[in-house]
Amino acid sequence: MKHTLIRTLPVIDRRATLRWLAGALAVGQLAACGETFGESAWLAPTPITGNGTGRDPNLLEPAAPWPLTLTQAELLATKALVDLILPAEGDAPAASEVGVPAFIDEWVSAPYPTQQEHRALIVPGLAWLDAEAIARGGKRFALLDAAAMKAIANDIAFGGRLKAGLEKPAEFFSRMRALTMGAYYTTPAGWNDIGYPGAKPGTGPYAGPTREAIAHMRALVEGMGLDFVEA
Amino acid sequence: MVTTRDGPFDAVVVGSGAGGAMAAYVLTRAGAKVLMLEAGRDYDPEEAPMLNLARDAPLRGSGTPDKPFGFYDATVDGGWEMPDEPYSVAEGSAFMWWRSRMLGGRTNHWARNSFRMGPYDFKPFTRDGLGVDWPISYDEMAPWYDRTEKLVGVYGANLGLENHPDSGPGVLQPAPKLRAWELFLKAGGAALDIPVVPARRAILTTKIDERQPCYWASPCGRGCSIGAAFQTTTSLIPWAKATGNLTVLTGAMVYEVMLDSSGKASGVRYIDKASGSHREAKGRVVVLAASTGETARILLNSQPNGRSEGLANSSGQVGRNLMDTVGSNVSAYCPALEGRPVYNEDGAMGLHAYIPFWLYKEQAAGRLDFPRGYHVEIGGGFGEPGVGGYEGFDGYGSGLRQQVRQRYGARIRLTQRGEMIPNEKSFCAIDPDRKDKLGIPVLKFSFAWSDHELKQVTHFQTAMRALMDRLGGELTSEAAAPEKLISVGGEIIHEVGTARMGMKADQSVTDRFNRTWDVDNLYLTDGSIFCSKAHKNPTISILALSMRASDHIATRLKTGEI
């Protein structure tokens, strides 16, 4: 591979941070004035107009030609959320350390029907996340402490105990979780975490199951009252 | 009208996929000068992104309308819909037509599953009174299958199974070892008398010529630049070129067969896509292998003396008898497979084992309510994690990571591939109201499954649910009426039958050597000539039938008969 496309979160300079804080303050003031995140806020965002890959792209030098569209505020909420979904643990890095926010941006910015459908859920969902954080804790989602973030997530992340009225945010969370996992487990860190040992060209015949894998399968199958035949 | 340079040719071959490339190979090796016309662009197998990673591709390689089988799929300028080359579907029908526009056609990305048709498959009418028999028998085809498999390189095992013929001695490549989850299915199947046996695929496991054997990585659908997974662009086409007798013209969209004053084919007319100009290519024999749909389209659009029924269609069978493979799926999560020792299960990146149809005796005895068989392609294992498939998870954080590790390698997918019987409602014809961007009238498809196929789906679903149940699997696929579970016509990309061969000129388009009854020097060597659509994936049979027909053509060219 001559290059990879993993994009990292843009470096945020001091001026940008100040602008963002000013925006956060404005949102806080809106919330304080009694604005709520109603049904209308889930309306679809502006559609994408960029070019797709075309039907004959260079497969050896892959590139996504469409411009990225998430705002800095949306990217910060994304980063906080994907790291809540897959935080660092042991040797495994957090989602944002392996480019997941940039992937989400690439995904929702892509000019294809599936991605546009997801965009119509994710862009308002990120706004909901900030509005909910401000309503509950007076700060945007990314500025909440871990416990406050989890308090919001706990209302929308578990299929068996969703908080009534939060069906749409729950749908948003499920989509973000699926995309975060898809992005994460395709990285080297994800392969390592899951144990995928493949994509390794070898010579000679295919090695087949290890002795340990065969012994395990034999015990498993015989434990089910079945005959094990190796071959 | 400009006549193509470098002529005259002994043979003009339309298409560079399985049927066309085999014809070019056999004819050029026999000394014939061959012009091959391909509608798509030239393609170099070195373009295949064999070791690129999903994480480097746009959207991690997800399928899009531009690249429906994923970014890295080998298909060039094709897919289900091509904006410049539309097709119509009759009201009340559903049909999907996968095309590619590249040298080598769809052989660059196929699954390489290569199951021979057997004795019953060539005489289905004799067996159950439905459809028609082929004008040839399995015994006649067996040596051609042997030659084809030996040339192509097919891994598998001779198992002595009913209607799943063995290959000749020394023909097959060694099959790769079964993986642990395949042994799991084999044990469950044995308890229910469902066989799980080594599969056959057109993949080299040992070196036989300049092509390299499989190195046990890289999805085959991306194309195989080392030549392990068979495609015509690493084998038949370069071999034919090496004879010095093959001329390849790409970007040449053939739309019509020309006849001379005696009614013989004199060549074809095509549009050079780069310039938009209409041209002619002439030869002593014309071989159409443009794909089942395109071959029928060329015949129907060739209207000598204004005959609206098209060429080689005195039987009225051109476009009729359109068939595809019956498809449906059962998938399950198997808790028993949780936490098993991880090792490299990539293998040949496809089937090492499958379930061949195992109920011929019951079927013959009238104990089944569906007349034709199916096989089951099985999937599972510790595959490369993809970007999709994470919908069923719950929560976040550490618990989520734990769920992923627990479920890895515990999913099983069972895919039905069944035989369809030709019916009156399934055919293609020219749409009188629509032309493509080049001005060529397009095809209009009509398609319907019958009860035969629907009952077969129900049987498959019931049998596979029983298998999963015996293994403690929890179904993750839908349980629904077969009408909802069956594939859309064309979706399995095994469309065949639109110009079938036969014993009699009034019931078929070609004779037993793929020669059209109406035009003595016009041959069809793709899937269009199939009389039935056995459950077996058609490519290996297209190759073998093309080899046999081309040998016949070569003999006639040599004797001066044409």
Tens-place pLDDT, residues B125-153: 999 999 999 999 999 999 999 999 999 99
Partner-chain contact B180 A205, CB within 8 Å: no
Q: Tell which of B44, B47, B59 to mutate to test the A interface (max A CBs under 10 Å).
A: B59
**In chain B, residues 200-219 whose CB comes closer than 8 Å to chain A:** 205, 214-218
Could you give the CA distance from residue B247 to residue B257 in angstroms, rounded to a whole number? 19
pLDDT at A185 over 90: yes
Q: Which residues of B387-401 are buried (b: 16+ CB within 10 A; e: fewer)?
A: beebeebebbbeebb
Tell me the CA distances in angstroms from B218 to B198, B224, B324, B382, one per residue in order. Answer: 21, 8, 28, 14
Q: What is the mean pLDDT of residues B423-448?
A: 98
Q: What is the mean pLDDT of residues B58-79?
A: 97
> How many interface pairs between A and B have CB atoms less than 8 angstroms apart?
240
Partner-chain contact B177 A177, CB within 8 Å: no
Residue A208 has its nearest CB partner, among B67, B179, B400, at: B179
- Dihedral class, residue B515 (left if φ above 0, else alpha if ψ from -120 to 50, else beta): beta
Per DSSP, helices labelled H in A54-166 are: 72-85, 100-108, 113-137, 146-156
Partner-chain contact A216 B59, CB within 8 Å: no
Partner-chain contact A177 B55, CB within 8 Å: no
Phi/psi of residue B383, nearest 5 degrees: -75, 170
Q: Tell which of B41, B103, B401, B403 to mutate to test the A interface (max A CBs under 10 Å).
A: B401
pLDDT at res. B8: 84
Residue A199 has its nearest CB partner, among B346, B386, B405, at: B346
- pLDDT tens-digit profile of B441-463? 999 999 999 999 999 999 999 99
Could you give the CA distance from residue B216 to residue B345 in angstroms, rounded to a whole number? 9
| pTM exceeding the 0.90 threshold for the entire prediction | yes
Residue pair A77/A142 in contact (Cβ under 8 Å)? The answer is yes
What percent helix, strand, coil does chain B show, rounded to 5? 25, 20, 50
Residue pair B61/B454 in contact (Cβ under 8 Å)? The answer is no
Partner-chain contact B395 A230, CB within 8 Å: no
Q: What is the mean pLDDT of residues A189-204?
A: 93
Residue A55 has its nearest CB partner, among B79, B176, B401, at: B79
Could you give the CA distance from residue A103 to residue B63 in angstroms, rounded to a whole number? 16
Q: What is the mean pLDDT of residues B232-256?
A: 98
Contacts of B395 in chain A (CB under 8 A): 157-158
Contacts of B41 in chain A (CB under 8 A): 56
Q: What is the mean pLDDT of residues B224-229?
A: 98
Cα-based angle A112, A118, A121 (whole degrees, multiple of 5): 145
Partner-chain contact A92 B216, CB within 8 Å: no
Which residue is listed with tokens 């001379």?
A: B260
Give SS3 for A44.
coil
- pLDDT tens-digit profile of A30-85? 444 334 577 778 887 888 888 999 999 999 999 999 999 999 999 999 999 999 99
What percent helix, strand, coil does chain A show, rounded to 5? 55, 0, 45
- B340 and A CB contact within 8 Å: yes
pLDDT at A221 over 50: yes
Contacts of A202 in chain B (CB under 8 A): 215-217
Partner-chain contact B51 A202, CB within 8 Å: no
Which residue is listed with tokens 């392996």?
A: A98
- pLDDT tens-digit profile of A152-179? 999 999 988 999 999 999 999 999 999 9
pLDDT at B77 over 80: yes
Amino acid sitting at position B247: T
Partner-chain contact B48 A193, CB within 8 Å: no
ipTM: 0.94
pLDDT at res. B353: 98
Which residue is listed with tokens 């769920």?
A: B403
In the numeric block, which tokens belong to residue B352?
A: 């090492």
Residue pair B472/B509 in contact (Cβ under 8 Å)? The answer is no
pLDDT at res. A39: 72
pLDDT at res. B189: 98
pLDDT class of A3 with cuts at 50, 70, 90: very low
Question: What's the gap in Å between the CA of A163 and the closest CA on chain B?
Answer: 14
Q: How does DSSP classify residue B132?
A: -
pLDDT at res. A141: 98
pLDDT at res. A231: 73
pLDDT at B92 over 90: yes
Q: What is the mean pLDDT of residues B225-251?
A: 98
Per DSSP, helices labelled H in B411-487 are: 451-470, 482-485
Which residue is listed with tokens 């005696």?
A: B262
Residue pair B101/B76 in contact (Cβ under 8 Å)? The answer is yes
pLDDT at A90 over 80: yes
Partner-chain contact B67 A57, CB within 8 Å: yes
Q: What is the mean pLDDT of residues B165-189?
A: 98
pLDDT class of B5 with cuts at 50, 70, 90: low
> CB count, 10 Å around CB of B442?
17
In the numeric block, which tokens belong to residue B13?
A: 């071959």
Residues comprising chain B, all counted: 562
pLDDT at res. A10: 40
- pLDDT tens-digit profile of B497-530? 999 999 999 999 999 999 999 999 999 999 999 9
pLDDT at res. A9: 37
pLDDT at A8 over 70: no
